[in-house]
Amino acid sequence: MSKLAVQMYTVRDFTKTQDGFEESLKKIKALGYPAVQLSAIEAMNGENPEVDAATARRILDDNGLLCVATHRSWDQLSGQTEAEIEFHRTLGCSFTAIGGIPREYGSEGADGYRRFVRDAVPVIAKLKAGGVQFAHHNHALEFQRIEPFSPATLWDILIDEGGPDYLLENDLYWAWHGGADPADLMARCTGRAPIIHLKDKAVDPKDGPIIAAIGEGNLPWDRILSACEAAGVQWYAVEQDTCRRDPFDCLRSSFEFLTAKGL
């Protein structure tokens, strides 16, 4: 089976209702993907969502799709931990990630990152005991240098001080955009990055650098994918934050390119 999943943020404009969510999953299955990461599903948000976890699971099962990951807020994970465990149990999902460091920690720079690593320990332990792995997703800002002229970055704090249960949902596009080498990054995260995000970076003659379907840009994929396999990646979540054509066609292009590479 393919190791590719769709990060549903890619098709967020199509999942605002239950009908749209169902149709999107049907299209994703038809493209050949076996799994998804549930993120930015408007139909699942709010106090009385149109699609609750049980309904989402039924729709996933009806389409033969797995939910291999979610994105959840730190407030939810830390303040409603038992409910979050049950939410993931209903989905049949054992992996969640925060989309970035909470604002109150991120505003403190390196000290805030270290404080977050410490504060997260009991929440991560409780999630783990309930069968849910915790991870942290990056953008480019995490690759800020801690000190001028020092090679150490904020993301290094999470790698070096987070411990084995502090997993990294490395987004390799944003790492590349932030000046890090994705292959080297994955080598440092061996065993701690079971699910990662992939997208490509192309250069438009008029607009400059843009996010592109995988294989349509300039990232050195042979080297990157080899490093990912060596690091023990289990699922590759295909994500495209912005698409210049139909997002489902972008997902098709990415799937064809990556499956040709053996994924």
Q: 90: helix, coil or strand?
A: helix
Residue 259: CA count within 13 A, CB half-sphere: 14
CA distances (Å), 26 to each of 68, 203, 215, in order? 17, 32, 24
pLDDT for 149 beyond 90: no
Mean pLDDT of all residues in 106-112: 96
Sheet containing 195-198: which strands, arranged edge to edge? 167-169, 133-137, 95-98, 66-71, 35-38, 4-7, 235-238, 195-198
Helix (H) or strand (E) holding 167: strand 167-169
DSSP code per residue over 184-233: HHHHHTTTS-SEEEE-EEEEETTTEEEEE-TTSS---HHHHHHHHHHHT-
Mean pLDDT of all residues in 98-113: 97
- The pLDDT assigned to 9 comes to 98
- Encode pLDDT of 53-75 as tens digits: 999 999 999 999 999 999 999 99
- Encode pLDDT of 6-39 as tens digits: 999 999 999 999 999 999 999 999 999 999 999 9
Query: Looking at the whole model, is its pTM more than 0.95?
Result: yes
Average pLDDT along the chain = 97
pLDDT for 90 beyond 90: yes
- Encode pLDDT of 185-238 as tens digits: 999 999 999 999 999 999 999 999 999 999 999 999 999 999 999 999 999 999
Mean pLDDT of all residues in 105-122: 97
- The pLDDT assigned to 114 comes to 98
What percent of the chain clears pLDDT 70, i.e. is strictly above it? 100
Mean pLDDT of all residues in 128-132: 98
- Encode pLDDT of 161-187 as tens digits: 999 999 999 999 999 999 999 999 999
pLDDT for 86 beyond 90: yes
- The pLDDT assigned to 150 comes to 86
- The pLDDT assigned to 1 comes to 84
Would strands 208-212 and 95-98 be described as parallel, antiparallel, or unpaired? unpaired
pLDDT for 148 beyond 90: no
Rg (CA), the chain: 18
- Domain residue limits, the chain: 4-260
CATH number, domain 4-260, options 3.40.50.880, 1.10.760.10, 2.30.290.10, 3.20.20.150? 3.20.20.150
